[in-house]
Amino acid sequence: MSYGDPNNPYGQQPQQPGYGQPAQPGYGYPQAPPVQPYGAGYPAAPMAMPGLMQTARVLLFIVAGLQIIVGIVLAIMFAAVQDVGNSTGAESATNALAGLGYILVVIVLGFAAWAIILGVKFSKGGGGVRVATIVYASLYILLSLANFAGGTSSSAVGGVIGLAIGGIILASMVNSSASAWFNRPRM
């Protein structure tokens, strides 16, 4: 038995790193790679869409659905007015009214398409989607104010609901979480 033989089970046991001997790379246990947080060379951790952004997105889809329904109802209504005018002989007046009505239908359906596109682009879009959503919400608020000019209680209720929805969408786009969401790094 030799005292310095490393294979001798009865000889002096090697010291563990940290118990009197400094650890030397290459000896003993393999060295673990250094742990690094996300960053330098690693892909960024996916960011979850903030709750306000999800709320604004859902409201955009709801508004778009309601605008599609209103557009279809208006188109049917103006077609019926035009049909009645043609059968009674007042073609010129009803055709002009129906033409203006169809322009209104195209505008309403255009706003619906715009809301759907914005809602779809929320997950991948950048600052342009945010700006377009701010413009959309601002126009929606302005057009909701027109409901108060109707003078009836049902149009006033529609105006209040429109103002609330437009206000929520606008408020969710102008806060810091929206800025962080739309300015995040993308893969």
Q: At what angle do helices 127-145 and 91-121 cross, to 10 degrees?
A: 140
Question: What count of other Cβ atoms lies within 10 Å of the Cβ of residue 86?
Answer: 13
Q: Residue 4 gets which letter from DSSP?
A: T
Q: What angle do CA 152, 154, 158 make, to 5 degrees?
A: 120
Over 60: is that where the pLDDT of 41 sits? Answer: no
pLDDT at 89: 77
Question: What count of other Cβ atoms lies within 10 Å of the Cβ of residue 130?
Answer: 22
Rounded to two decimals, the pTM is 0.70
Q: Which residue carries 């700006």 as its tokens?
A: 131
Band (95; pLDDT cuts 50, 70, 90): confident
DSSP element (H, E) containing 12: none
